[in-house]
Amino acid sequence: MKPHGLGRTPHHVLVGGLAALFLFPLAWSAWASVSGQPGTAQQSGYGLGNYRSLLHYDAGLAQYLWNSTLVSLLTVALTLLVSLMGGYAFARFTFPGKNALFLLTLAILMVPYATLLIPLYVLLGDLGLQNSLFGLSLVLTVYQLPFATFMMRISFESVPHELEESALVDGCGTAKALLRILLPAVWPGLVTVGLFAFLAAWNDFIAPLILISDSAKAPLPLAIANLRQRSMGAIDYGTTEAGVVVLALPCLVLFLLLQRHYIRGFMSGALKG
Amino acid sequence: MLLARSRGSGSPAPGGEPPSRSPSGTGKGRPVHRGPWWRTRPAQGIGYAAPTGVFVVVFFVVPLVLVGRISLSDWPLLAGNRGLNAPDNFTEAAGDDLLWPAVRFTLTYTALVTVLLLGLALLLALLVQETRPGTGLFRTVFFLPSALGLASASLLFLGMYSPNVGPISPLLERLGLVDGPVSFLGTPTAALWSTVALIVWKYAGFYMLILLVGLQRIPQDVYEAARMDGAGRWQTFRSITLPLLRPSLALTLLLSVTGSLLAFDQFFILTKGGPDNSTMTVVSLIYREAFQRLDLGAAAALSVVVLAVLLILNVAQFRGLRGTDT
């Protein structure tokens, strides 16, 4: 069945051409990061000069990678923990205020992040968490909660009650039922939530820009954007593109490995929500 | 490759009967039925929901109240007098020379991005909706830029647009389309279109996926019936595909409009608001008030206005979205 199919050849040419256009920037940045250009760390020929320059720039690539990894892993861990417990509560228990809290959690989606960063900046200062990667992870976690809680709630709801009921009747506590019996059943949901939290935390730019003032604590995207300030506006494009490759690689690899979970998040999060 | 065949539903309910929700229950001979276990332990439910509650209250409700409070106060970024000064922040913000140009620019940008993005995403979705050999690969290729962060993509394009190493200008010169190096970010018009091109590249695959899911929900027999009635391709598209795709199109519209109205990263990285403040968006203005002019009160006042506008827009569009989703 071809509702609007073009002829075979024009179709191939059009799709192939578009695909080349979509791939071109990715391929170019990989090439530009290793090829020689005047005004970059790799002056001529091919080599890893730009990566060496990135390795030693300012606080050093290792430090920035560590900052990004720490923030991303903390965000993932917090998001998984909170949404696992929250999803369990919303799917399996009845308690006063349940619907209000669930709707309030979803309402976070309605309030743009950029407009809340000013009070969050003040609030983190009051809590003694200014300029802290932990504080940054807390903020990033909050913005993952609507999707994560929704996702975990429907994951728990799709598990039949019978699965843990007999264990509970036998006197096993709810915590034990959650960890031993339900956790394996909601595992795919957790992978999806973790993937989305990781990509969001790894790539976020505006939250660290506002909340982190010490350049040695900058996560990678902020550190690479700062490259231009270091040299009074003259940008080392070679080192920048090497940074883009370092930033993009984990995202592309994770996406290609976990496509199934990404699509799953899409179908349930974007469309049912 | 999974993109080759998307599944019908994100969470198929596994077999098994729906749990009985009636308080009388099924009884099963037991004289007193206390109801299902999950209804009898509210304290535990509260316990499991507590972390969510703490996060939502401390990092969402409190900041929401705080932004209102700051917007009504004289609140310098660094320590200083924090007395109420309402409504000075709002009147000052309204009198800012850059506000109306920023609003106009943000709206122009939003309109451009939304039209081009939705157009291209629909084209891509139609092109890869049929499962042919290689379709899965093409879907993945179109989606790949979405896996990148916005800041990474902006930094990537910063290099592509650069006069030093950028590949586009030499390519255009070789094709004889331009005479000298092109300044992609040097004039207001060029900077706007260059940023739009980046965003369309980055997000087209993402919106394609939403539309693809919508296309696959259209029952095949509707197309069969149309073909029986002798409808042509264009007619089928106009009277079947487009109307039935409306919920998905409305969702992409909502995402694109709200996303573009809040544009910041791409302009901060590519143009820094320039040349000549011509690419200053509303969120850039909030950032500028807070961290360059060190006036959190003015920034909060702008935030409150943006928040109110987006809330109204979201509720209105959400209603529309639900209305068409039957």
Contact indicator for A57, A50 with CB cutoff of 8 Å = no
Nearest-angstrom CA–CA distance, B118 and B112: 10
The answer to whether the Cβ–Cβ distance between A162 and B16 falls below 8 Å is yes
Query: Which CB contacts under 8 angstroms, 24+ apart, belong to B278-282?
Result: B278/B101, B278/B105, B278/B188, B278/B191, B278/B192, B279/B105, B279/B188, B279/B191, B279/B192, B279/B195, B280/B98, B280/B101, B280/B102, B280/B105, B281/B102, B281/B105, B281/B106, B281/B109, B282/B102, B282/B103, B282/B106, B282/B306
Q: Least CB-CB distance to A89: which of B45, B155, B209?
A: B45
The answer to whether the Cβ–Cβ distance between A118 and B264 falls below 8 Å is no
Nearest-angstrom CA–CA distance, A49 and A72: 28
Q: Does the pLDDT value for residue B33 go beyond 60?
A: no
Mean pLDDT across A82-92: 96
pLDDT of residue B119: 96
pLDDT of residue B107: 96
Mean pLDDT across B166-181: 84
Rounded to the nearest angstrom, the minimum Cα separation between A208 and chain B is 12
For chain B, the farthest-separated pair of C-alpha atoms sits apart, in whole angstroms, at 92
Q: Least CB-CB distance to B310: which of A112, A160, A240?
A: A112
Mean pLDDT across B90-110: 92
Q: Does the pLDDT value for residue B241 go beyond 60?
A: yes
Task: State the residue for tokens 């647009």.
Answer: B161
Kindly indicate the confidence band of residue B317, based on its pLDDT and cuts at 50, 70 and 90. Answer: confident
Q: Which residues in B lie closer than 8 A to residue A40 (C-beta atoms)?
A: 164-165
The answer to whether the Cβ–Cβ distance between B37 and A266 falls below 8 Å is no
The pLDDT tens digits for B194-217 are 999 999 999 999 999 999 988 988
Kindly indicate the confidence band of residue B26, based on its pLDDT and cuts at 50, 70 and 90. Answer: very low
pLDDT of residue B40: 66
Pinpoint the alpha helices (H) of A127-258: 133-157, 162-169, 174-176, 183-185, 187-203, 206-211, 220-225, 227-230, 237-257
Q: Does the pLDDT value for residue B16 go beyond 90?
A: no
**Rg from Cα positions in chain B:** 26
Mean pLDDT across B145-156: 95
Q: Least CB-CB distance to B49: which of A26, A86, A224?
A: A86
pLDDT of residue A233: 57
The answer to whether the Cβ–Cβ distance between A237 and B159 falls below 8 Å is yes
Rounded to the nearest angstrom, the minimum Cα separation between A106 and chain B is 10
The answer to whether the Cβ–Cβ distance between A18 and B46 falls below 8 Å is no
Helices (H) and strands (E) in chain A, counts: 15, 0
Neighbours of B84 (CB within 10 A): 11
pLDDT of residue B6: 37
Residue from A93, A141, A178 whose CB has the most chain B CBs within 10 Å, to mutate? A93
Mean pLDDT across A124-128: 92
Nearest-angstrom CA–CA distance, B121 and A87: 33
Contact indicator for A259, B2 with CB cutoff of 8 Å = yes
Structure tokens given for A193:
């939530």
pLDDT of residue A202: 97
Nearest-angstrom CA–CA distance, B326 and B312: 23
Q: Which pTM value belongs to this model?
A: 0.88
Determine whether A242 is exposed, middle or buried from the number of CB atoms within 10 Å of its CB (0-12, 13-18, 19+): buried
The answer to whether the Cβ–Cβ distance between B45 and A95 falls below 8 Å is yes
Compare all CA atoms of chain B with the CA of A140 and give the residue at the minimum distance. Answer: B59
Mean pLDDT across B93-103: 90
pLDDT of residue B38: 57
Interface size A-B, in CB pairs within 8 Å, comes to: 330
pLDDT of residue A269: 56
Helix (H, G, I), strand (E, B) or coil at B301: helix
Contact indicator for A247, A220 with CB cutoff of 8 Å = yes
Rounded to the nearest angstrom, the minimum Cα separation between A176 and chain B is 13
pLDDT of residue B46: 94
Neighbours of B81 (CB within 10 A): 9
The answer to whether the Cβ–Cβ distance between B310 and A165 falls below 8 Å is no
The answer to whether the Cβ–Cβ distance between A145 and B55 falls below 8 Å is yes
The answer to whether the Cβ–Cβ distance between B41 and A93 falls below 8 Å is yes
The answer to whether the Cβ–Cβ distance between B151 and A112 falls below 8 Å is no
The answer to whether the Cβ–Cβ distance between B152 and A204 falls below 8 Å is no
pLDDT of residue A62: 94
Least confident of A32-36, A261-265, B133-137, B252-256: A261-265
Q: Which residues in B lie closer than 8 A to residue A207 (C-beta atoms)?
A: none
For residues B207 and A59, which has the higher predicted lDDT (pLDDT)?
A: B207
Structure tokens given for B59:
């990092």
Q: Least CB-CB distance to B311: which of A94, A110, A271?
A: A110
Q: Which residues in A lie closer than 8 A to residue B201 (C-beta atoms)?
A: 21-22, 25
Mean pLDDT across B56-77: 93
Nearest-angstrom CA–CA distance, B249 and B246: 5
Q: Does the pLDDT value for residue B185 go beyond 70?
A: yes
Percentages helix, strand, coil for chain A (3-state, rounded to 5) are 75, 0, 20
The answer to whether the Cβ–Cβ distance between B291 and A210 falls below 8 Å is yes
Q: Which residues in A lie closer than 8 A to residue B1 (C-beta atoms)?
A: 259
Comparing CA positions, the residue from B112, B197, B113 lying closest to residue B156 is B197
- 3-class SS letters over B22-77: CCCCCCCCCCCCCCCHHHCCHHHHHHHHHHHHHHHHHHHHHHHHHHHHHHCECCEC
Q: Which residues in A lie closer than 8 A to residue B148 (C-beta atoms)?
A: 203, 247-248, 251-252
Proportion of chain B above pLDDT 90, given as a percent = 50
Determine whether A46 is exposed, middle or buried from the number of CB atoms within 10 Å of its CB (0-12, 13-18, 19+): exposed
pLDDT of residue B176: 81
Phi, psi of A16 (to 5 degrees): -65, -45
pLDDT of residue B325: 46
Mean pLDDT across A194-204: 95
pLDDT of residue B173: 85
Kindly indicate the confidence band of residue B165, based on its pLDDT and cuts at 50, 70 and 90. Answer: confident
What is the rounded average pLDDT for all residues in chain B? Answer: 84
